[in-house]
Amino acid sequence: MQHPPLPAQFGQQLGVVSTLYRSLIESLLVPHDVTWAQFSLLLHLARRSGPSRISEIASSVNLTQPAVTKVVQKFSAQQMVIVRSDQNDGRNRLVEITEVGRTRLVAMQQSFGPAFHELLLDWSSEEIERLIHDLTRLSATLVTLNEAQRGQKKP
């Protein structure tokens, strides 16, 4: 039996890993009353050095602007984000994570520890470091590809 080409094998395996990872994280987020989409939004804000517009967040986390607005309202009520008007364009809202939001995010991520420990139990430190390196490289390429795709979709 002939194997599919390497790019097809890569895509298939990445799809499987992506699905399994998301399922694991979604189950680990249940005690925090946070969904995958909400977690992704919070992670996006935490990576930023300053505020983000709703439209930028929507594009980055692959949600609609109304969905982002709803999550931002939930997080604002919980003091996890602060929302203010954009002084350059009053129609835009700027969103920034607060210390409360960062603390909650860290707590969520720390709660993943036991599952990640079990997941990597049979891996050496060198293998884990190599995997992190390779995933970081892959992530950077995916960011570039996604940005290029978004650029092509604009009229």
- Residue 58's domain is classified under what CATH number? 1.10.10.10
73 shares a domain with 143: no
pLDDT of residue 154: 52
Q: What's the number of domains the chain is made of? A: 2
pLDDT of residue 2: 87
91 shares a domain with 28: yes
81 shares a domain with 59: yes
pLDDT of residue 153: 62
pLDDT of residue 73: 97
Secondary structure of the chain in HEC code, one letter for each residue: CCCCCHHHHHHHHHHHHHHHHHHHHHHHHHHHCCCHHHHHHHHHHHHCCCCEEHHHHHHHHCCCHHHHHHHHHHHHHCCCEEEEEECCEEEEEEEEECHHHHHHHHHHHHHCHHHHHHHCCCCCHHHHHHHHHHHHHHHHHHHHHHHHHHHHHCC
38 belongs to a structural domain: yes
pLDDT of residue 42: 96
94 shares a domain with 152: no
Domain that holds residue 152: 123-155
53 shares a domain with 34: yes
1 belongs to a structural domain: no
Residues of the chain with pLDDT under 50: 155
